Amino acid sequence: MKKFIFLIAILFPILLAAQKTDKTFDLSVTKHQIKLNGQVINYTATAGYMPVKNENDSVKAKLFFVAYTKDGESDPSKRPILFAYNGGPGSASLWLHMGALGPKRVVMNDDGSSTQPPYSYVDNEYSWLDKTDIVFIDPMLTGYTRPVGKNDKNEFTGYENDLHLVGDFIRLYTTRYERWSSPKFIGGESYGTTRSAGLAGYLQNRYGFYLNGVILISAILDFGADITDRGNDRPFPLLLPTFSATAWYHHKVPQYKDLHSLLKDVESFSINEYASALLKGDQLSDDEKNKIAERLHSFTGLSTTYLLQTNLRLYVGRFNKELLRSEGKTVGRLDTRFTGYDYDEAGDEFDYDPSYDKTIYGVYAMAANDYIRRTLKYENDLPYEVLTGRPRPWPLSSDKYLNVAETLRDAMTKNPFLKVWIANGFYDMATPYFATRNVVDHMFLKKELKKNITLTYYEAGHMMYIHKPSLIQLKKDFDQFIQSALPK
């Protein structure tokens, strides 16, 4: 017994000291100032981990977040709050954080092309912080977010698990920081829009957490409208306007002097003659095939020979390689304005996405790593995971094509005050704008509810905000949206 008491006396101070030196969940809180629309805003930045616990009160994950809150607000019910994230799945939130919404933005050329390294960031005069507090969330195995102990990543990845992780964080943050009475918004980009539609339902049904607004930037809500599998002809007519916009940008359809007149004609052809022709399959006559090929040629600049060889069906990847093949170039996927070069010019698909690897990856990754440590004063020696496959496999659902538009429809029906804003880039081949519009048209909302959805368009790509004119317009459109969604 004496030995046991002696061991306790020795070990207890050691264990206590270890507890005191464990700074895993220490938050870095810093004070800053920015001038927006002529108004000086003092704000607090909070960076660090939120411990995510199970029902037994044991920490199962550590979720990294960065929150910006305006100082001097005594009544939280008067100050909106926005929870924001990117997609992937497997992407950290740095794109929205340092490209459009946050108080700092990476420095790029006005057209969205990258500058020479090393990269820098400046005050973002188009930040949304003048209208709302913002919390940026990094889902599992993105940023610094990691499982704890023996908990496996698969507990937090995939469509359903991800909703629970991010949704439970939003509830917990709202509770800890006393924001239940604030007007509440969620916003995501790319797969983050899939997450947002799911969260609108999850938060509402699980916690009675009713939102004022959902922001969808470069949306994918119904995968059946975007994934060009054999046997699924629906996406081909919905992709064509983006292919045509790309061809126009690269001077392959010179008969059209402006983009919008081209898109008007392409959209009409896509939803009518083209969709009908694809539906016929082998019943399409040779004469009909040739006529469709000629129209496709007029909208894309691709040869009728190539178009007939593809069975009149154009795929992302193959189109990117074929459009500028005679010039030895490929076009981007996230933003088709940008071009690159491949090792093999005779290949079927491009080697890499020049609008990602060549244009944005290094700029954002280097700027974010510097900003988090040097400006936000948050220290962590783990790699900040930007966009990786580490969270995969990522099961979407039991169905082949996940469709969260129905979840969003249900949330809007139960909460008729919920407003939805969808921002689209004409040169975005990852989430084509015409497919998004078609999905919205298939939600079959009542007229009074469909008025709650706003769609805006930009002459840029997936990350439309890297294009400065689009960034400026995005901010104006956000100001109008949040005003429409706030309590009157």
Q: Is residue 384 part of a domain?
A: yes
Confidence of residue 368 (pLDDT cuts 50, 70, 90): very high
Per-residue pLDDT reduced to its tens digit, 108-143: 999 999 999 999 999 999 999 999 999 999 999 999
* Same-domain pairing of 288 and 415: no
Q: What is the pTM of this model?
A: 0.94
Q: Is residue 342 part of a domain?
A: no
* Same-domain pairing of 50 and 147: yes
Terminal Cα-to-Cα distance of the chain (whole angstroms): 70
* Same-domain pairing of 73 and 199: yes
* Same-domain pairing of 73 and 215: yes
Q: Is residue 356 part of a domain?
A: no
Q: Is residue 160 part of a domain?
A: yes
Domain that holds residue 268: 229-314
Averaged confidence pLDDT in the chain? 94
Nearest one of 164, 152, 157 to 140, comparing CA atoms = 157
Backbone angles phi, psi at 340, to 5 degrees: -145, -175
CA distance 302 to 305: 8
| Residues shown for the chain | 488
* Same-domain pairing of 414 and 440: yes
* Same-domain pairing of 246 and 395: no
CA distance 379 to 369: 10
Domain stops at, among 314, 344, 379: 314
Does the structure show a pLDDT above 80 at 266? yes
Q: Is residue 344 part of a domain?
A: no
CATH of residue 445: 3.40.50.1820
List, in order, residues 6 or more apart from 226 with CB less than 8 Å away: 220, 235, 238, 431, 432, 435
Does the structure show a pLDDT above 80 at 6? no
* Same-domain pairing of 214 and 284: no
* Same-domain pairing of 254 and 399: no
The percent of residues in the chain predicted with pLDDT above 90, rounded, is: 91
Does the structure show a pLDDT above 80 at 11? no
Domain stops at, among 253, 286, 314: 314
* Same-domain pairing of 44 and 174: yes
Helix 191-207 × helix 405-414 angle, to 10°: 40
How many domains are contained in the chain? 2
